[in-house]
Amino acid sequence: MAIITVTESLTVRLIDPDAELEFDPDDVYDGPSKSQQKREVEALQALGEILVKLPDAQFKRIELPEDLRVAVADCRKITQNGALRRQKQYIGKLMRSVDPAPIQAQIDAFNGVSAAENAKLHQAEKWREKLIADNEALTLFLNNHPDTDATHLRQLIRNARDEAAHNKPPKAFREIFRVIREAMQTK
């Protein structure tokens, strides 16, 4: 068995402790990284794509700056892939000059995601349960929402109680919820 030895020349670099550092830790840039900036731009472009896909009724109700509204309306008409991609990028560019938080809040409200919307839904459900369970709850509800049609609501409550007693589909039960939601929105 042969033993092979390999010799390498090692270069040793000495570090001068008195030399100045090229990197000064106090001069560190604290801004967002390039990849973070790219993620933010992509998020704005994705929000723009959501605007493009909104139903017409919601798109008409959402508050947008005029130039962004025109760009989104134009994008909704474009069918060619290349032109569509460029228009979406343009919308993303316009979104950079706009505060996206109010737009996102409006979209969340349309989708029923916001905490305020959830609270309103829970309040409407509680009112519906009270109205069906207690006759005096109708008086309280009408005091809080005087524009509500009392006769119609009273009839719906009777029908909902009848549906529950006879195991029928909850048509009036759902209708009460709709009436309550409308009354709460007008207040």
Q: How far apart are CA 118 and CA 139, in angstroms?
A: 25
> Are residues 50 and 94 in contact, defined by beta-carbon separation less than 8 angstroms?
no
What is the tally of helices (H) and strands (E) in the chain? 9, 0
- What is the rounded distance in angstroms from the CA atom of residue 161 to the CA atom of residue 154? 11
| Closest alpha carbon to 93 in 54, 134, 42, 133 | 42
pLDDT, mean of residues 133-146: 90
The predicted pLDDT at position 74 comes to 94
Residue tagged 């509680």 (tokens): 126
Q: What are phi and psi of 59, to 5 degrees?
A: -65, -35
H or E element, residue 57: helix 56-61
CATH class for the region spanning 115-186 = mainly alpha
Q: What is the mean pLDDT of residues 128-139?
A: 91
Say whether pTM exceeds 0.75.
no
pLDDT value of residue 20: 59
CA–CA separation, 163 and 50 (whole Å): 40
Quick one: CA torsion of 176, 134, 167, 183, rounded to 10 degrees? Answer: 0
Of 26-30, 88-92, 135-139, minimum mean pLDDT range? 26-30
Tens of pLDDT along 29-74? 667 788 888 888 888 889 989 999 998 888 888 889 999 999 999 9
Scan for tokens 């509500």, then name that residue. 148
Reported as type and span, the H/E element at residue 178 is helix 171-186
pLDDT of residue 25: 58
What are the sequence ranges of the domains in the chain?
35-111, 115-186
Q: Which residue has the higher pLDDT, 140 or 13?
A: 140
Name residue 146's amino acid. Answer: P
Task: Give the pLDDT of residue 120.
Answer: 84
Do 35-111 and 115-186 fold alike per CATH? yes
Domain 35-111 sits in CATH 2.60.40.1180: no
Given a cut of 80, is residue 28 above it in pLDDT? Answer: no
183 neighbors 140 (Cβ within 8 angstroms): no
C-alpha to C-alpha distances, 19 to 11, 14, 16, 23, 25, nearest whole angstrom: 20, 11, 5, 12, 16
